[in-house]
Amino acid sequence: MSIVITVGREFGSGGRELGRRIADELKIAYYDKEILEEVKKRTPYSLSYIESISEDRPFTLPSISYGNSFMFYKDVPLEQHFDVQNAQVEFLKEIAAKSSCVIIGRAADYILRDMNPFRIFVYADMQSKIERCKARQKEGEPQLTDKQWAKKIKLVDKKRRNFYDFYTGQYWAEKESYDIMVNTSHTEIKLISKHLADMLRPAIETDKKEVKTEA
Quick check: 87 binds a second copy (CB under 8 A)? no
By CB under 8 A, name the one of 29, 179, 208, 211 that touches a second copy: 179
Please name which of 75, 34, 36 lies closest in space to residue 53, comparing C-alpha atoms: 36
Q: Which is nearer to a second copy, 19 or 58 (CB)?
A: 19
Examine residue 205 and tell whether it contacts a second copy (CB under 8 A): no
Neighbours of 8 (CB within 10 A): 26
> By CB under 8 A, is residue 114 in contact with a second copy?
no
Residues 6+ apart with CB under 8 A from 175: 181
Under rule CB under 8 A, residue 198 binds a second copy: yes
- Give the one residue of 116, 127, 137, 148 binding a second copy; rule: CB under 8 A: 116
207 binds a second copy (CB under 8 A): no
The helix-helix angle for 76-98 and 33-42 (nearest 10°) equals 120
Read off the amino acid at residue 64: I
* Stretch near a second copy under the rule CB under 8 A, chosen from 22-30, 72-80, 157-165, 187-195: 187-195
For a second copy, which is the closer residue by CB, 43 or 170? 170
- Does 1 participate in binding a second copy (rule CB under 8 A)? no
| Burial call 147-180: b when 16+ CB within 10 Å, e when fewer | eebbeebeeebebbbebbbebeeeebbeeebbee
Instruction: Select 97 or 180, whichever has its Cβ closest to a second copy.
Output: 180
Task: For residue 11, state whether it binds a second copy (rule: CB under 8 A).
Answer: no
For residue 181, give every residue at least 6 positions away whose Cβ sits within 8 Å of its Cβ, in sequence order, or none: 120, 121, 122, 123, 175
Q: Which of 125, 146, 205, 210 binds a second copy (CB under 8 A)?
A: 125
Q: What is the DSSP letter of 121?
A: E
Amino acid, single-letter form, for residue 165 = D
Could you list the residues that contact a second copy (CB under 8 A)? 116, 121, 123, 125, 173, 175-176, 178-183, 185-187, 191-192, 194-196, 198-199
